[in-house]
Every structure is written in C-alpha cells, then in structure tokens.
Amino acid sequence: MLKTKAETVLDPCIVVIFGATGDLTKRKLYPALYNLFRDGHLPEQFAVVSIGRREKTGDELRSDVISSIHDFSRVRLELRAEDEAFLQSFHYYNLDFYDSTSYDGLQTRLEELDEIYQTRGNRVFFLAVAPEHFAPIAKEIHGHKMAQNLNSWQRVVIEKPFGRDLVSATQLNEDIRHTFAEQNIYRIDHYLGKEMVQNILVLRFANTLFEPLWNNKYIDHVQITFAETVGVEGRGPYYEQAGALRDMVQNHMLQLLSLIAMEPPVDLDTESIRDEKVKILRSLYIDGEDVVRGQYGPGVVDNMQVKAYTDEDRVLADSQVETFVALKARIENFRWAGVPFYLRTGKRMPKKYSEIVISYKKLPGVLYFKSGKLEPNLLIIRVQPDEGIYLKFNAKRPGTLQSIVPVSMDFCQNCYEGLNSPEAYERLLYDVIRGESTLFTRWDELKHSWSFVDKIAQEWQAEEKQTVPYLAGSWGPAQADFLMRKHGREWFQEGGS
C-alpha cells in the first residue's frame, strides 16, 4: 500500500490505462504518476492497471515504467523503499479492445485489486488510444458494468482529437454518454495544464493594472502564435485527416482565446468559468478572406535540410492538407467589438514557441513626434518553452537628448534556480483524481469550437481552396504577413527571434 503526503485527502482509486504500450503512456503518463507520487499528490490507497494488446509480465511492465521515468521524468528515480512500493502498485492486463470476453477478466481483476488496495471501486479510465477505439472501449466498460457509479465513482479521460467535425464529435459524445455522465468525462487538452495558461485568469482578475484596460477602448488587437519546428514526425495518416486547423486551432488555440477574452466569472468554480468560455466561443466569427492556409515545402530548420510535407512518410504526393493556418477572428460582444484576434500556427517554423500578445492602442504621439517612433505597449504571455510575462513600454533614452525607446520588464517563471515546475499531465491527472474539471473541456465548449472550425473547413472544400506553399524554416506564407499588414499591423516575432 502506498503512503504519500497529499495536501488534501484524496479518494482511493485505480488508474486504468488503455494503451499502456503507446508513446503517450511512456512519455507522459508514467512520469506524471511518479512525479505526483514524489510530491505527495496521490491517494494513500492507489494502483495502476496498464492495459495493452501485447503479452507482458508484471516484471516487464515495471521495467518499462522504470525506463520511462528514467528517460522522461523531471524527478530522478531513486529506487528508495517508497519508490519500490510505487512500482509494485503497477499491474498489467492483456486485452484485445474488440474481444468482449476479455473484459470479463478485466472486471474480475479490478475487483481483486479493489480488495488488495482498498480502492472501493473508484476508477479513472484513461483512454490513451487512437480515437476510433474510444466508443468501443466505453461500450464494453458499460456492458461489463465497470462504470455504474454506485457508492463509488468512475471517470474517463479522453485524449484529442474528440471527433473530426461537429457531426462525428456529436456521435462520439453520445456514445461516451451511454457509459459516463458529463461530469465524469474529462476531455483533456494538455495545453490547459501548462503553468502560464493556468496563470491567465490570475493575471487578468487579480491585478488592477490589467483588468480595467482589458477591452476595446485600450486594446488594438490580440495575437496567439503556436509555432513548431517539427514536421509531422511519422504521423502522416493522422495529419492527412486532421491538418493544422483541426489539430491545433480547434482545441489548443480556441481554448486560449476563450480564456483571454472571457468575462469575469461570477465565481471561480468549474461551471462558472466554463460558462464564460462558452459565451466567447458562441460570439466568435470569421470572414472567409481572413484565413491563410499553407503547407511547408523543403527547407532548412535548425541547420538541417528537411523535406516537403508531401515527401513525408505515408502522406499523399498531391496532398492539400494544411500545415499552417493564420486567421483573423472577431468576437461580437460589448467588450471586444472592433478588436481583431489573430491566430497563427504552423509546422517547420524557425523556432518552437507558444505565446499570446496583447497589443495596446498607439498614443497619438503629439507630445513626442520628434523623439522617435512611439511604439505600442505590449503584454506578452509566454506559454512555452519559456514561461513568463513580458511587458513592453516606452521610456526616455538615457542621455541629454529627449528621445524615446521601447523598454521591457520580463518575468520568467521557469528561470528560477531550483524551480522544477510540474508538467501539464501531472496537474491534469491530479485534477481527474480529485474530481476537479475546470481545466477540461465541457461538451458545449467543444460543440461551439467545432462549429467555428467546420465553417472554415466547409468553405475551403466548397471553393476547392489550395494550400499556399512556404519554405520550411520560414514564418509561413507571405499571405499571413499581408493579413496583418493590410491593417497596419505586424506579427510579433520576439518570442521566436
């Protein structure tokens, strides 16, 4: 039995991982569980059942867990007595997702472990599998009465993509809801577990320096950039179905936009925050000419020659799937009327970073028109890799001349020596175990985000819109720059320069 020092009393539970031999489990879930254990954020009565289609012994599983922690954990595995107890709480079960009889044995095994670990039937089902397996697994869990929520709780965690469009997402949601109630469905978006994303609401609503200026009277526009240096990395079949629009815009980017733009909630409880996010997604509009769709060609990234998207493994030679999207959206409400929101995401960019730029309106410059260019104030929220807040404002240049230069105040959250900030999956897994769903996507959020993205995709299809090529290692097609410059604006590149 595990002994931890959780700050709050957590219900005992078993975490059941479908897809135990997959990359997500190896790189994220096993290290996250170990780090939670080391930080005292797991229940005292706790176990893990790793489910895979390969044959594997318990010792082989624990060897996999050790390798995973060694390679990917932020905390080093020390193999103390407590660590050995942690490893012994992992159990393997071989199961074919589509063999209904295999689930009889799984139910029996879970009941046995309930007795051993005194977990009372509380379970987290983490579906770390391909999306096509979500509904069949949920159906079998229901059919074998493993999620009845009778004097215990059962929750399911579902990775993206949740559907491919609104129609498929609606069908998948109905399938999952046959087994799990909405409050027990945790649709995970790992970006919402990142430290600076969680900081957005604090930055806005705990500082009089920002909240009174957070509106169309003072803000000129907002930029959200997710830049990646990698290509599709062997995920050709998935990316051929998704593209950058569905892979990044529909979930990560719209979630950040809703946090940046939402009204103050009436309370900081889960549903109040989600209600305000939904209002933003319902108010979101876009014009067809304000979208740029690109695809990377060959080029140089990180001093290495890379091939074009259409030369990647398992990608169609004539594919028109987008690897880059830039768009200008608007929010039709009182606070944001007239303020454009620019979103940009792409693969094979010069640098990897994610950030949000709040660009304030320029002053007329009447007093300082001879003193140099008067730059707009910028507030930049850096999500990754550097977590922090950057404020750019104007000041006098030192010396005898009355000239103005932009200066900055830069807070780097992960630069402090000795700070080892939790990974996103640690926070998210901890929230699932304690039943806190604020950082997870509610169905109506997902529905409205799909509705927004579907309009773009349908217009592309109706117009047979071709992707615009751009060089790998560049900042995307020239049309993306024009999207800004035609209104006298530019993409802020400092985070990636």
**Catalytic amino acids?**
252
State the number of CA atoms in the 13 A half-sphere of 463 facing the CB: 13
Distance CA 127, CA 138 (A): 9
Residue 385: DSSP 8-state: S
Strands 90-94 and 123-127 come out as: unpaired
Q: 203, exposed or middle or buried, with CB in 10 Å at 0-12, 13-18, 19+?
A: middle
Distant-in-sequence, close-in-space partners of 454: CB < 8 Å, separation ≥ 6: 165, 166
Nearest to 383 by CA among 259, 209, 250, 267: 259
How far, CA to CA in Å, does 118 sit from each of 12, 14, 47, 207, 398?
7, 10, 10, 45, 68
Exposure class string for 392-426: b at 16+ Cβ within 10 A, else e: bebeeeeeeeeebeeeeeeeeeeeeeeeeebbbbb
Q: Crossing angle of helices 443-463/270-282, nearest 10°?
A: 20
Distance CA 375, CA 471 (A): 30
Which long-range contacts (C-beta less than 8 Å, at least 24 apart) are formed by 487-493?
487/340, 489/220, 489/221, 489/342, 489/359, 491/223, 491/225, 491/342, 491/344, 492/223, 492/225, 492/357, 492/359, 492/378, 492/380
Phi-psi category of residue 424: left, alpha or beta, with phi > 0 → left and psi -120 to 50 → alpha: alpha
Q: Which H helix or E strand runs over 103?
A: helix 102-117
Nearest to 492 by CA among 245, 221, 292, 284: 221
Distance CA 420, CA 443 (A): 33
Distance CA 294, CA 282 (A): 27
Q: 132 with 164: CB under 8 angstroms? A: no
Strands 388-396 and 404-412 come out as: antiparallel
Q: 425 with 29: CB under 8 angstroms? A: yes
DSSP 296-311: EEEEEETTEEE--GGG
Phi–psi pair at 374, nearest 5 degrees = -90, 105
Q: 406 with 360: CB under 8 angstroms? A: no
